[in-house]
């Protein structure tokens, strides 16, 4: 497990919506720091342009980020950001459905898109000589998307099937969805990125057109280009293809602050699967605008970094405390995982999940997890253990900067969350100063029952011999998807 900006983004992975990232990373090429782009300029219409030059390989990565994700959706219309992402491949005024992808493939390139709680992203990786054409094509659909009724009716069925396969028929994804919906009562982060099925069934083409018209404005976009490119050429092409777009007033984003939790929340779930598992979610900070500066003297910043260090101390495959005790020594668990949600505009959670070995009860595993965290809160960690984690973090940061995709993604996500590019370097500065007392403090402060939502998953026979029924819950939630 790595720390720093490579948070284990369990919420996004469980949603099954971020796709196509494997295989798009460039060969390691000693990139500059995220905090030091070759060019960082905002056009008159509000479009921010970042360029990271590197000459090692004749390739270019082109990304457009929209500051609009599931956190911006309203009740009854969840899944809109993701549905619009699908429709972005269904044609423009001059491109037929599917033609965008065919043209990128003809250029020898790769392309895809992803939706998250905070944003929607589109990317292409091509030979440097094809960059101008790729920018033209992307600008075409950012400006002149054609949202056709027939195409919408077909694509909404695709999205619903995606939900069935990746969530409804996936025990871990279904459990994660239920866990988050119980952990948060007000904040829209409680809604799944892919949307509730009932909402998908009732979305209209008007909803999708309105989403595009509302959020796809130049003053709500970030353009990032990395690779063997010339920054001034990229800027000129950005002005050529995006400069005539008109900035538009954006809706006021209401905070929808989550009320304080004052007691453990519990939920149970049954579904066909092989193993029982436990999911624990503690309220935890995210790297967001309201966090304040990342500095060694800021307690909030130290807490954020210390929590990510703690995740590695708990679940590292070779040396993690939960891994060693539960998996290697006692063999009471098949696997363990821990991680925080990282950079986000909304509130976050620190997750711990444990897959039980046959015959082991979930309450006993929960007790053991809490025992290990209590030990850290009481005794901290020794210097050798802490030094190892810091070395892992530093090495991870170097390798991240070697990847065009990771570099561009880190930069855009920081800006979209209201942060600055300087946070990339500041993170390591804070990390270097983290001490055992920091880990003791966060273990005692955040890992308390008043901030806990726990889910117990009971497997049903895979042959369907047992019918799925209602599982008990502190809030009476059904065992299936909540609508």
Could you tell me the mean pLDDT of each successive run of 10 residues in the chain, 483 residues long? Answer: 36 38 37 86 98 94 98 96 98 96 97 97 98 98 97 98 96 97 96 98 98 98 97 98 96 89 96 96 95 94 94 92 97 96 94 98 98 97 90 74 88 97 93 96 98 97 59 29 30
Residue 441 and residue 307 in contact, taking contact as beta carbons nearer than 8 Å? no
Q: Are residues 283 and 196 in the same domain?
A: no
What is the value of pTM for the model shown? 0.89
Q: Are residues 48 and 95 in the same domain?
A: yes
**Catalytic option among 9, 73, 85, 341:** 85
- Is residue 268 in a domain? no
Q: Are residues 100 and 199 in the same domain?
A: yes
Q: Are residues 118 and 21 in the same domain?
A: yes
Structural domain boundaries, residue 32: 10-242
pLDDT of res. 403? 84
- Is residue 255 in a domain? no
CATH number at residue 78: 3.30.830.10
Task: Give dist(CA 131, CA 229) in Å, integer.
Answer: 8
pLDDT of res. 19? 35
Q: Are residues 235 and 290 in the same domain?
A: no
146-152, long-range: CB < 8 A, 24+ apart: 146/90, 146/91, 146/92, 146/93, 147/87, 147/90, 147/205, 147/208, 147/209, 147/212, 148/90, 148/91, 148/97, 149/205, 151/87, 151/90, 151/91, 151/97, 152/87, 152/90, 152/205, 152/208
Q: Torsion over CA of 17, 188, 263 and 356, rounded to 10 degrees?
A: -10
- Is residue 432 in a domain? yes
pLDDT in tens, 350-384: 999 999 999 999 999 999 999 999 999 999 999 99
pLDDT of res. 96? 97
pLDDT in tens, 3-51: 333 334 443 333 344 433 333 333 334 456 899 999 999 999 999 999 9
pLDDT of res. 2? 30
Q: Are residues 136 and 35 in the same domain?
A: yes
How many domains is the chain partitioned into structurally? 2
- Is residue 235 in a domain? yes
Residue 271 and residue 479 in contact, taking contact as beta carbons nearer than 8 Å? yes
- Is residue 248 in a domain? no
Q: Are residues 291 and 429 in the same domain?
A: yes
Active site residue 85: yes
- Is residue 352 in a domain? yes
Q: Are residues 189 and 330 in the same domain?
A: no
């Amino acid at each position: 497990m790595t720390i720093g900006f490579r948070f284990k983004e369990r919420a996004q992975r469980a949603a099954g919506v971020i796709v196509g990232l494997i295989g798009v990373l460039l060969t390691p090429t000693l990139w500059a720091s995220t905090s030091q782009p070759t060019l960082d300029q905002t056009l008159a219409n509000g479009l921010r342009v970042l360029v990271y030059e590197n000459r090692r390989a004749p390739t270019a990565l082109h990304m457009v980020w929209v500051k609009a994700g599931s956190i911006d959706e309203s009740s009854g219309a969840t899944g809109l950001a993701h549905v619009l992402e699908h429709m972005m491949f269904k044609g423009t005024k001059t491109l037929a459905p599917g033609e965008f992808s065919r043209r990128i493939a003809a250029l020898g390139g790769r392309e895809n898109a992803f939706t998250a709680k905070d944003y929607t992203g589109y990317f292409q990786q091509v030979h440097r000589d094809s960059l101008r054409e790729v920018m033209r094509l992307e600008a075409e659909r950012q400006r002149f998307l054609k949202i056709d009724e027939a195409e919408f009716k077909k694509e909404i069925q695709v999205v619903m099937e995606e939900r069935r396969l990746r969530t409804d028929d996936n025990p871990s994804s279904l459990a994660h969805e239920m866990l988050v919906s119980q952990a948060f009562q007000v904040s829209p982060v409680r809604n799944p990125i892919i949307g509730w099925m009932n909402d998908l069934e009732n979305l209209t083409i008007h909803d999708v057109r309105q989403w595009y018209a509302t959020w796809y404005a130049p003053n709500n976009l970030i353009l990032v280009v990395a690779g063997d490119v010339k920054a001034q050429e990229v800027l000129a092409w950005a002005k050529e293809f995006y400069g005539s777009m008109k900035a538009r007033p954006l809706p006021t984003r209401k905070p929808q602050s989550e009320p304080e939790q004052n007691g453990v929340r519990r939920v149970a779930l049954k579904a066909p699967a092989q193993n029982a598992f436990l999911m624990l979610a503690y309220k935890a900070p995210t790297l967001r605008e309201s966090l304040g500066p990342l500095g060694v003297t800021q307690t909030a910043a130290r807490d954020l970094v210390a929590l990510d260090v703690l995740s590695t101390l708990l679940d590292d495959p070779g040396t993690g405390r939960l891994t060693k005790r539960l998996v290697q020594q006692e063999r009471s668990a098949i696997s363990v995982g821990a991680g925080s949600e990282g950079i986000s505009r909304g509130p976050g959670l620190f997750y711990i999940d444990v897959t039980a070995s046959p015959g082991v009860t979930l309450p006993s595993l929960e007790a053991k997890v809490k025992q290990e965290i209590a030990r850290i809160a009481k005794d901290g960690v020794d210097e050798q253990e802490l030094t190892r984690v810091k070395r892992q973090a530093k090495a991870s940061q170097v390798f991240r900067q070697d990847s065009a995709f990771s570099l561009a993604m880190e930069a855009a996500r920081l800006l979209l969350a209201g942060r600055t590019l300087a946070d990339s370097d500041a993170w390591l500065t804070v990390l270097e100063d983290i001490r055992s007392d920091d880990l003791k403090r966060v273990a005692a402060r955040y890992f308390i029952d008043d901030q806990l939502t726990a889910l117990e998953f009971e497997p049903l026979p895979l042959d369907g011999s047992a019918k799925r029924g209602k599982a008990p819950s502190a809030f009476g939630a059904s065992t299936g998807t909540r609508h």
